[in-house]
């Protein structure tokens, strides 16, 4: 009974074996131009020309090997998974396939596409120049404003000290070179070297044309040489640069008086007295000129 059961189990196998053998016999062998898809446990499947087999490990995994490759010239082999010695990408490239890029173990990885150069950033627009007054000049202006407020309210005893402080501010140009030349011009005047002092003041007028103190000193020098018109021109320039220059206004009043121009003398002396009220001698001269120019009040 046991032999009968064994015979019954073997009958289906003997019927299937000829069919499997016949299928294998009919399976075409790969030629130079054929590619086969090989899957473990299944019969090879021929691929059309130009087709490529892909697997989980990359291109050609499980595919047939070319008979032209000397490493696989012994005929087709059933792929049982990637061999450790062959790496993750097994197989050859199809010479008729133009698809790029591919990884070929003989050529190495395909080169990456060149990265285009970055466009240069647009240059920043230059910032506009500041319109505020430089710190040194702004500080100088604040100091002068405070001193003139004190001078306008100062009594006769304190006013000369405040006026002297204002003159010292005017005597500083902010340039070491200009200050040095002015110091040499003062030394020359002290030694009565008039020609040398005049040359230095002329150079300063070119070097620092916005420094009122230069023109006030040169005006005094010309007045001492009886150059009245030249002195008036220099004092006038000093007043244009610094309208609050009370000493230049007083000098202009005196020079206009010498020329007999009493109206202009009165106007200049009034401006000086308005800026520096504590000048009793100047106040008397203004009153005298007012009577001569404007007459007595009725």
- Rounded to an integer, what distance in angstroms lies between the CA atom of residue 60 and that of residue 56? 10
Q: pLDDT tens-digit profile of 111-166?
A: 666 776 776 666 665 554 444 444 678 888 999 999 999 999 999 999 999 999 99
Residue 43, pLDDT score: 74
Nearest to 248 by CA among 229, 231, 266, 228: 231
From 1.25.40.10, 1.10.3210.10, 1.20.120.420, 1.10.580.10, which CATH number describes the 135-294 domain? 1.25.40.10
Rg of the Cα atoms in the chain: 56
Helices (H), 79-193: 135-153, 159-170, 176-190
- Rounded to an integer, what distance in angstroms lies between the CA atom of residue 175 and that of residue 49? 92
Low-confidence ranges of the chain (pLDDT < 70): 1-35, 37, 39, 41, 49-113, 116, 119-135, 297-298
Q: Which residue has the tokens 């150059």?
A: 227
Residue 62, pLDDT score: 44
- Rounded to an integer, what distance in angstroms lies between the CA atom of residue 84 and that of residue 70? 19
Residue 53, pLDDT score: 60
Residue 15, pLDDT score: 53
* Dihedral angle over CA of 280, 283, 289, 294, nearest 10: -150
Query: Cβ–Cβ contacts within 10 Å for residue 201, how many?
Result: 23
Dihedral sign for Cα atoms in the order 79, 84, 88, 94: negative
Tell me whether strands 35-37 and 45-47 are parallel, antiparallel or unpaired: antiparallel
Domain ranges of the chain: 135-294
- Model pTM score: 0.55
Q: pLDDT tens-digit profile of 107-121?
A: 555 566 677 677 666
């Amino acid at each position: 009974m046991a032999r009968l059961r064994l015979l019954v189990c073997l009958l289906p196998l003997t019927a299937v074996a000829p069919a499997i053998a016949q299928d294998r016999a009919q399976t075409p062998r790969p030629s130079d131009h054929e590619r086969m898809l090989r899957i473990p446990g299944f019969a090879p499947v021929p691929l059309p020309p130009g087709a490529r087999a892909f697997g989980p490990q990359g291109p050609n995994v499980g595919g047939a090997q070319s008979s032209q490759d000397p490493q696989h010239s012994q005929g087709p082999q059933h792929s049982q998974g990637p061999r450790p010695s062959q790496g993750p990408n097994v197989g050859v490239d199809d010479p008729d396939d133009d698809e790029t890029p591919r990884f070929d173990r003989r050529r190495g990885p395909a080169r990456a596409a060149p990265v285009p150069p970055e466009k240069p950033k647009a240059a920043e627009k230059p910032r506009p120049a500041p319109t505020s007054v430089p710190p040194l000049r702004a500080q100088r202006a604040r100091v002068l404003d405070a001193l003139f407020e004190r001078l306008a309210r100062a009594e006769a005893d304190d006013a000369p000290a405040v006026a002297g402080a204002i003159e010292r501010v005017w005597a500083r140009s902010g340039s070491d070179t200009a200050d040095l030349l002015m110091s040499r011009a003062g030394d020359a005047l002290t030694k009565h070297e008039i020609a040398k002092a005049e040359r230095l003041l002329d150079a300063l007028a070119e070097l620092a044309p916005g420094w009122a103190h230069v023109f006030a000193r040169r005006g005094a020098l010309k007045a001492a040489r009886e150059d009245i018109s030249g002195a008036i021109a220099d004092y006038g320039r000093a007043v244009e640069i610094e309208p609050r220059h009370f000493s230049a206004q007083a000098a202009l009043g005196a020079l206009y008086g010498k020329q007999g121009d009493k109206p202009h003398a009165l106007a200049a002396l009034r401006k000086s007295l308005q800026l520096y009220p504590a000048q009793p001698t100047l106040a008397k001269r203004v009153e005298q000129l007012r009577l001569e120019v404007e007459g007595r009040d009725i």
